[in-house]
A and B are shown apart, each in its own frame.
Chain A
Amino acid sequence: MVKIHLEHVTKLFGKVVAVDDVTLTINEKEFMVLLGPSGCGKTTTLRIIAGLEEPTEGEVYIDDEPVTYLPPKDRDIAMVFQNYALYPHMKVYDNIAFPLRLRKYPKEEIDKMVKEVAEMLRIEELLDRMPKQLSGGEQQRVALARALIRRPKAFLLDEPLSNLDAKLRVMMRAELKRLQKELGVTTVYVTHDQAEAMTMADRIAIMKDGKIQQVGSPADVFNKPVNLFVAGFIGSPPMNFIECTATEKGDQFLLDAGEFQLDVTCFKDIIKKNATSSELVLGIRPDNVMVDRERKEGLVAKATVYVIEPLGSETIIDLAIGDNIIKARTLEVVDLKMGDEVWVGFDMERLHIFDKKTEKAII
């Protein structure tokens, strides 16, 4: 079993805090994605696991063994870099064989294993070429092959798809996931692309400013974001946020957004218990915004159609409610035009409410 565990890991570069007290366990055979905007410390975290950086504080364990001060070569992990880091002075074959040669494998065995892994990644024809002669996608496969060949304890990938074009990226996403499941290698994958994270991960750790914000399955982080940052980062188009104030009117408990009021009496107790003030943020995903020309049951706000973005199978409608622009997504055929007046409602089951001050999720 291969399990990676980070215990209160902190990394300082001079006075800059790159990783701030991160504690994280990556389970056996798990595909863990570290997700966050650039500069959030995800790559540094990965490099600490690899042994390329020493943490300022905290410990790293692989299989319950403390490895914090072990050089990378003794950790038996493999890593794929964003720019692939192929050895430019070696042929593809030698690139792939390099880790085995360092471990003094017999020549025939190396040859056999190189052929095997090349076949698995469909790069048999490229073995005689130099890295410079390869396309981005091919280089990427070679980098993967070099990492896979020695059956490492764990697999670390640092934005491996970000240098590929969009089409190839989507293709490689599926392929990487299949490979990981077939080989059953514990994997840590760093990316800033939430779509990549959602499609590939078993679990996602979302980071910001060196801190882990939330760890959970893709469904978890999508449906139950713990704070405004996670809610806004996951999902495309992103969640709509509307600032509002909680008010009580008789028995009713309302969220007042100025342009409209939303009855949330059903959440009254939770909000009262958890909110630090009456300043709240309403969050709703575009999928859960309902739009109609007529005022129907559950539609609460009047809006103007701002822009229509047809995407073929679906349509994004930008709606102006007062000064707020919110997006709605629908799979139905839309016969609206710019400037049309419509009524908008929210799916109460999928409603999120955040505390404006602490940014934490209340519902």
Chain B
Amino acid sequence: METPQKPKGRKKVRWIEKNIKFLFVVPAIIYLLALLLFPAVFNLYASLHDWWIGRSPKFIGAENFIELFHDNRFINDVIVTFKFVIIAVTIEVGLGFLLALAATKITKGVQIFRVLFIFPIMVAPIAAGYMWRMLLHADYGVIPNLLARLGFPRVEVLSNPKLAFWGIILIDVWQWMPFVFLVTYAGLTALPKEPYEAALVDGASSWQIFRHITLPLISPILLTVTLLRFVEAFKVFDIIYITTGGGPGIMTESLSLYVYIQGLKFFNLGYAGCIAWVFFLIVMVLTTLYILRLRKEMKL
């Protein structure tokens, strides 16, 4: 038998066949590096400099970071953001899951509920904020009007120091609780039947079934959806921008809003870059957790 030669004409074809995998992936990678890695590098550079737009940067080492940790506004925003994320997500997950459990008891018409639940999720957050601003308007809004008829005083919820924060929570819950509902409902309906039948045969009560079968089986999905909501809620910007603008004062200012204000209102590039990095690192922790979950769920 002759030795198999790799003919010359094939060489080019073979090269393409061998490297075709890169042709598929490289455009996306380049695109992402250009538009998303650049900001990271830029922010890092800027954060180490005293740099305002239109002026040349001056190297100041970690001074921006030191200033940041003494910046009451930043500390306030970190607290507001965390408070917002924790409270909003807790309510969303709690309510959404509860409703999903209720929906599993329904035999007819679930399909309709499911479609209707999709709508808030798809509403532009800016429009969502705007709707609620209208509804909550002290003089013309439906809700204060209703409450006034019941004898409550008329308050402008979104500019009230005590209530503004809760107004924003309300809007976020309105938009994202349905998402938790849809995900957990999907999870609940996909649970295997056998453990339930086994438990019924074993004579378990409905509470016991919930506690020992439903909850353990659904908890991976609850964890997934909670983590995802955490990651997403940290980005909150639009609804605050339109409803309170961070006010009254800075009582509802989120980190996203602060980066935006420092960078694009004050044009303090160095300081904005510095906030961006700290913000990024906080979210990165949660992101990593979520991605690890994804890998587990999807068996990657």
Contacts and interface: CB of A to CB of B under 8 A. Distances in A.
A5 B14 CA distance: 23
A59 B4 contact: yes
A276 B179 CA distance: 71
Interface in B1-53: 1-6, 10, 14, 17
Interface residues of A, number: 10
B10 to A, nearest CB: 7
Contacts of B10: 69
Contact of B17 (A5, A66, A71): A71
A7 interface: yes
B14 A69 contact: yes
Contacts of B6: 69
Nearest to A7: B1
Interface residues of B, number: 9
Which residue among A5, A66, A68 has the maximum number of chain B CB atoms within 10 Å of its CB? A66
Contact of B1 (A61, A67, A69, A71): A61
A61 B2 CA distance: 10
A68 B3 CA distance: 11
A7 B6 CA distance: 16
> Which DSSP category, helix, strand, loop or mixed, fits chain B's interface?
loop
Interface in A223-272: none
A62 to B, nearest CB: 11
Contacts of B4: 59, 61, 66-69
Which residue among A5, A64, A67, A69 has the maximum number of chain B CB atoms within 10 Å of its CB? A69
A64 B4 CA distance: 10
A68 B2 CA distance: 13
A50 to B, nearest CB: 15
A5 B4 CA distance: 13
Nearest to B5: A66
Contacts of B14: 69
B233 to A, nearest CB: 39
Contacts of A5: 1
A59 B3 CA distance: 9
A326 B3 CA distance: 51
B118 to A, nearest CB: 27
A267 to B, nearest CB: 41
Interface in A306-347: none
B120 to A, nearest CB: 35
Contacts of A64: 1
A7 B5 CA distance: 15
Nearest to A61: B1
B21 to A, nearest CB: 14
Interface string A2-37: 000101000000000000000000000000000000
A59 B2 CA distance: 11
B141 to A, nearest CB: 53
Contacts of B17: 71
Which residue among B4, B5, B10, B17 has the maximum number of chain A CB atoms within 10 Å of its CB? B4
A151 to B, nearest CB: 25
Contacts of A7: 1
Contacts of B2: 66
Interface string B266-288: 00000000000000000000000
Nearest to B18: A54
Nearest to B7: A69
Contacts of B3: 59, 66
Contacts of A71: 17
B277 to A, nearest CB: 37
A69 B1 CA distance: 16
A61 B10 CA distance: 18
A69 B17 CA distance: 11
Nearest to A64: B1
A59 B5 CA distance: 10
A61 B3 CA distance: 10
B4 to A, nearest CB: 3
A68 B7 CA distance: 12
Nearest to A68: B4
Contacts of B1: 5, 7, 61, 64, 66
Nearest to B6: A69
Contacts of B5: 66
A355 B3 CA distance: 39
B203 to A, nearest CB: 36
A250 to B, nearest CB: 56
Nearest to A5: B1
A287 to B, nearest CB: 42
A288 to B, nearest CB: 43
19 contacts: A5-B1, A7-B1, A59-B3, A59-B4, A61-B1, A61-B4, A64-B1, A66-B1, A66-B2, A66-B3, A66-B4, A66-B5, A67-B4, A68-B4, A69-B4, A69-B6, A69-B10, A69-B14, A71-B17
Given A66-B1, A69-B6, 16 more contacts: A5-B1, A7-B1, A59-B3, A59-B4, A61-B1, A64-B1, A66-B2, A66-B3, A66-B4, A66-B5, A67-B4, A68-B4, A69-B4, A69-B10, A69-B14, A71-B17
The 7 lowest CB-CB distance pairs between A and B, nearest first, are A66-B4, A59-B4, A68-B4, A69-B6, A64-B1, A61-B1, A69-B14
